[in-house]
Structure 1
């Protein structure tokens, strides 16, 4: 059944006229007349008595009109509730992100989000491997690094510096390194969560570039574990600025080859393509972007900061 016909019939019964019903509905009188006739054929009953002066419901029409009015009112309330729900964050928000960024940045934002929107429940899945958003189980993914082509929608919300760091136990050997080629003799902790954990491109302010391939003495597949190994003297490694910023400021890590820079990476919010973005996703993104904008600079250089 075409439910629009209920609205056409109700308008005619309320106004007692096809002409006035058409004016209320802002459609032609012919359309109203045709659709009401189709409704009568569908229900197998005459709903309206048509005279030259007035149109009025039959006995069956009066009973049907009462039901139609209730149905149309409930439909209007349902749309109203849906619109209100779309404007106010609610329900379960499922987010996935890499371990390091999730622990340092997302956990505080999730905590603040939950306090601000208690009607929302947040599920945060931290994993250094990329999870598939097309399964429908994830509302939002945070990808740190370089995006691959996909059917997903993405928004760049910030950026980060890659920093070559080492622990104080290696301070003397770190101080002796002047060029990227000098790194060959130093122990290196490879982050196997990366596609190219051993190949690194360095650039200097004068435009000079060097590419070096390092040899791993230790290989680990999660970034927080790589950091732990570096802190206790296991070797050098390349880590994102948001993870090592406080440790560098406290002297618990050392910046290796500070005159040379590694490529900066992007921080992206990624979500399945959709015409409408749920309010819970929009609200969380706004808080995350604000957190990125407030991120302090890294000692010895400015953080790339957030993007709009």
Structure 2
């Protein structure tokens, strides 16, 4: 079988080059060895594969059908060799990544560490900031963004959907009347995160929907500052659950309207549209996607 596969590759090369001599040069074999491989195949199959003249070669009908199978086999072998070889290639270069500050204490840093350990030749720069930076203007290769993406010329891949919780301090809740509907919150003070829309869409029981415009008492561009303001009683906050989980557990914050759901933002990897397949940028995005969506890594 191994000899047959070798002869099939030789035969496919003869057809591709259009001559025994061309195939011999391509394979770095003698023309007589190339001819021997083809003859052995014809003998094994019991049919002619090629019509030969002093100047030309042409496929017989059997040869045409057999060549299609040979071409597929060679292509599959080359693809397998390439896929394994490409994994062994060491990535090198510098990768600048901008990320929301709230990801600094979470599993994203573990993902970045795993990438760095897998590809030690890559210099990884992680900039954590709740301001959205212009990738092209500021020279970032990848941005991790949370929320709803604006239309742009950038490419994006959704990595995961995050959960939000509506909450406030017990002191703030005690100063207001009991609430049963999002409309009851229209006159409450809110803490607005400047990177998010100034309204919240709610979905409630019986598929009821409601949009509440935020009466922002304080606006901030920093997630942890918003959390601290909420704990201090400055207003209602619609926060990612990972940001306020400890405060909810310690009852420094209490959840509001648990029967109503808010639209949940997603985390995206964003990169320039002209990044080539297999580039350092796409390898990083693929790595994150694999870690987040196809492994058992704890995301808490």
Query: What TM-score range do you get, normalising by the shorter chain?
Result: 0.5 to 0.7
- Report what 1:160 is aligned to: 162
Aligned residues: 223
Residue 275 of structure 1: SS of its match in structure 2?
A: coil
Between stretches 112-121 and 212-221, larger displacement belongs to: 112-121
1:228 and 1:191 map into 2 onto residues whose CA distance is 12
Q: Are the aligned partners of 1:113 and 1:287 in contact in 2 as well (CA < 8 Å)?
A: no
Question: Cα gap change, 1:294/1:225 in structure 2, threshold over 3 Å: closer, same or farther?
Answer: same
Structure 1 residues 119, 188: closer, same or farther in 2, change over 3 A?
A: same
For 1:295, the equivalent position in structure 2 comes to 299
* TM-score, normalising length: structure 1: 0.61
Q: Distance in 2 between matches of 1:175 and 1:90?
A: 60
For 1:114 and 1:188, locate their aligned partners in 2 and report how far apart those are by CA, in whole Å.
40
Q: Pick closer, same or farther for the CA change 1:288–1:89 going to 2, 3 Å.
A: farther
In structure 1, which of residues 191, 194, 209 is the aligned counterpart of residue 193 of structure 2?
Answer: 191
* Separation of aligned partners in 2, 1:119 and 1:275: 19
Q: Considering only aligned residues, what root-mean-square deviation do their CA atoms show, in Å?
A: 3.2
Q: Which residue of 2 aligns with 1:62?
A: none
Quote the offset at 1:101 in angstroms.
3.2
The range that moved more, 131-140 or 265-274, is: 131-140
Q: Distance in 1 between matches of 2:295 and 2:245?
A: 15
1:285 deviates by: 4.2
Q: Which residue of the partner structure matches residue 269 of structure 1?
A: 269
**Contact 1:189 1:229 (C-alpha < 8 Å) held by counterparts:** yes
Normalization by structure 2: what TM-score? Answer: 0.63
Residue by residue over 1:251-274, the C-alpha shift from the partner in whole angstroms, topping out at 9 and shown as x without a partner, is: 332111111111112211111222
Q: Can you list the C-alpha shifts for 1:200-249, whole angstroms capped at 9, x where unaligned?
A: 22111310111222312212122221111112222211112232234323
User: Do residues 232 (structure 1) and 236 (structure 2) align?
Assistant: no
Q: 1:220, 1:136 → 2: CA distance? A: 23
1:283 counterpart residue number: 287
- Pair 1:84–1:135, CA change in 2 (3 A): farther
